[in-house]
Amino acid sequence: MSAIEGLETAHHHADEHDHHHEAQSFWQKYIFCEDHKVIAKQYLITGILWAVIGITMSVIFRIQLGLPDSNLSWLKPVLGGWISDAGKLDPNFYLALVTMHGTIMVFFVLTAGLSGTFSNFLIPLQIGARDMASGFMNMLSYWFFFLASVIMFASLFLQQGPAAGGWVIYPPLSALPQAHPGSGMGMTLWLASMAFFIVSQLLGGINYITTVINLRTRGMSFDRLPLTIWSFLITAVLGLISFPVLLSSVLLLIFDRHFGTSFYLSDIYINGEALPNVGGSPILFQHLFWFLGHPEVYIVLLPALGITSEVIATNSRKPIFGYRAMIASMLGIAFLAFIVWAHHMFVTGMNPFLGSVFMFLTLIIAVPSAVKGFNYITTLWKGNIVFTPGMLFSIGLVSLFVSGGLTGIILGNSALDIQLHDTYFVVAHFHLVMGAASAFGLFAGVYHWFPKMFGRMMNTSLGQAHFWLTFIGIYLVFIPMHYVGIAGFPRRYYQFTSYDFTHKFMDMNMFISIAAIFTFLAQFIFLWNFFYSIFKGRKAPQNPWRSNTLEWTAPIIPGHGNWEGEIPAVYRWSYDYSKPGAKEDFIPQNIPYSQTPESNFPHENELIATEKVIESQNFNDQFKTHH
């Protein structure tokens, strides 16, 4: 903490001109804080809490699916009436569990927890900015997320249960309270929560984009940005374009539910009553939902890929292979993400011609994804790999991303999707490629930047143990799940006893469930390591991973404004690892070429002339008094 205080006094004099610095109260410092680092930690810890809830839910329904004979009475103290007297899970609550698991993991953990944490934490630190463009909006962003969280959390305690129509909340099921208990108050709260969540994402996204464009330090041109920042920028653009569409679809659904409109409803007879609604289309909702829903996959995944790029380069002690190709492939993925949404809808009755178009566009995505995969592998090639936990999770991510991505080529093929749609094959596919891969990105990021966040180190061995158990566990869960899918098992089934064709494979489902419980238990290693290390971890050195990026030039615990004195200028890209001729195997971005004549390439020697210009630039530093 002393570093913060030191920093603050240091700045006191410099700041007088601009604004008055008063000692911040506890509330200003940790709760309604405008400092991007604190907001990042708020996002992270909220995300972790949500992850615990979301994953616990998955374990409960995995018990139901894999061990259907088990007596769940021991859950009665928590779940109360949702467990029958015979110790069985309520079928409605089963649907609520899968719905909330999906919602929580996709939006609250992997969108807010991943992108919210690392965009906030790394953008200012890696581009060399004092803070986000608008600290206030940034704070609002978190508190809107918090509000959304509170509402969603409250919905778990409703008598009728939370929303339960699947995380995609397709109407009419979600629009008609009489169709399902989960479509009552639970759905109302779900929609309200999501509306606030979207507001939060938009506030955050605008901030990320503005900050990256406007607040880069001297010399930090776009082609010197670390790939993390590129990925956060692209993610924010994706979110900014697609989340409003979800908001509108949510609003129209609210209208249908409460104000008698017929956007999604037509020709419905339910509970002995023909509803007056005509002319609406449930398919319209699906188009709107997936127009967000598909980019959302990449909103979740791209930050993980960005983090991985950074961590793999640092710990392979090699420049990332194909820096420009990596950016191009991310841009390509981002662009394509907007024009593939209907591959979720091949069998909804949509015009088959559209299906052909979307199949074609979908399979193109495999190309930039393949480029990324190969570039990671080439980065590992002839490296000098240090297996930090962050690195292990990044390597794991590459494996999961490719293994899960390949089955996407099957599912993107509309002819094959006929059979596989809404079976466990799909579940296995997206859990590997977007669920587990993104979670691995989150873990990699936490392990890698923990020293910067908390000034302490996480325990390496526990991290490694966590990695191996999780990595093996994930594959044990999801590889067999493909078999279950090929056998035709539909998803969101409370039990598999109603049909002859699902009345088999019981041991495979049991195996998956046991592996899931095992993986779940392994996460407690992380939880313990994380919370213990915050308080008791070994003190972090200045640059624990010997990394090039700018955040490691800031004080070990950066205070308000991140750098004491002037913000460092940037003279080179962030991937000068193991440069031939260099003394060390890394050259941070703030080292000018003029100081490293022994390792400069000819074209870099030419850049020495520009260094004076970069140095004399002076912009974007709110702490500077003389303009």
Site for other proteins, residues 143 to 172, rule: CB under 8 A: 165-166, 170-172
* Sites for other proteins among residues 90-129 (CB under 8 A): 91-92, 95
CB of 497 to other proteins, least distance (A): 8
Instruction: Please provide the distance, in angstroms rounded to a whole number, between the alpha carbons at the two ends of the chain.
Output: 31
Interaction of residue 354 with other proteins, rule CB under 8 A? no
Q: Are 495 and 65 in contact (CB under 8 A)?
A: yes
Distance from C-alpha of 95 to C-alpha of 495, rounded to nearest angstrom:
11
Give the DSSP H/E element, type plus range, for residue 317: none
Task: Pick from 366, 556, 608, 614 the residue near other proteins by CB under 8 A.
Answer: 366
Least CB distance to other proteins at residue 473 (A): 9
Count of CB atoms within 10 A of residue 133's CB? 20
From the list 53, 137, 364, 608, which residue makes contact with other proteins (rule: CB under 8 A)? 364
Closest CA to 114 of 17, 44, 168: 44
User: Residue 105 CB, nearest distance to other proteins (Å)?
Assistant: 17
Give yes or no for residue 505 binding other proteins (CB under 8 A): yes
Over the window 532 to 561, marking each residue x when it contacts other proteins by CB under 8 A and - when it does not, the resulting string is ------x--xxxxxx---------------
Q: Are 458 and 530 in contact (CB under 8 A)?
A: yes
The answer to the question of residue 281 lying near other proteins (CB under 8 A) is yes
CB 118 within 8 A of CB 53: no
Contact track, other proteins, 282-311, x by CB under 8 A:
xx----------------------------
Binding map of other proteins across residues 20-59, x = CB under 8 A, - = no contact: ----------------------------------------
Which is closer to other proteins, CB of 2 or CB of 498?
Answer: 498
Query: Is-contact 469 476, C-beta < 8 A?
Result: no
Contact of 294 with 341, CB cutoff 8 Å: yes
| 165-204: contacts with other proteins (CB under 8 A) | 165-166, 170-173, 176, 179-180
- CB count within 10 Å of CB 253 equals 26
Give the residues across from 83 on adjacent strands: 89
Cβ proximity to other proteins: between 129 and 334 the closer is: 334
3-state secondary structure of 498: coil
Tell which positions 578-607 bind other proteins, by CB under 8 A. 578-580, 585
Stretch touching other proteins by CB under 8 A, among 103-111, 125-133, 280-288, 429-437: 280-288
Footprint of other proteins on 457-496 (CB under 8 A): 459-462, 464-465, 468-469, 471-472, 475-476, 479-480, 483, 486-488, 490-496
- The residue within the footprint of other proteins, chosen from 370, 534, 608, 614 (CB under 8 A), is 370
* CA–CA distance, 89 with 82 (Å, rounded to integer): 6
Q: Rounded to whole angstroms, what are the CA distances from 181 to 102, 151, 564, 567?
A: 18, 18, 57, 56
Q: Looking at beta carbons only, is 154 or 514 nearer to other proteins?
A: 514
Cβ count near 171 (within 10 Å): 27
CB of 115 to other proteins, least distance (A): 25
CB 23 within 8 A of CB 5: no
Total residues contacting other proteins by CB under 8 A comes to 136
CB of 333 to other proteins, least distance (A): 13
Pick from 214, 239, 202, 205: nearest CA to 131:
214
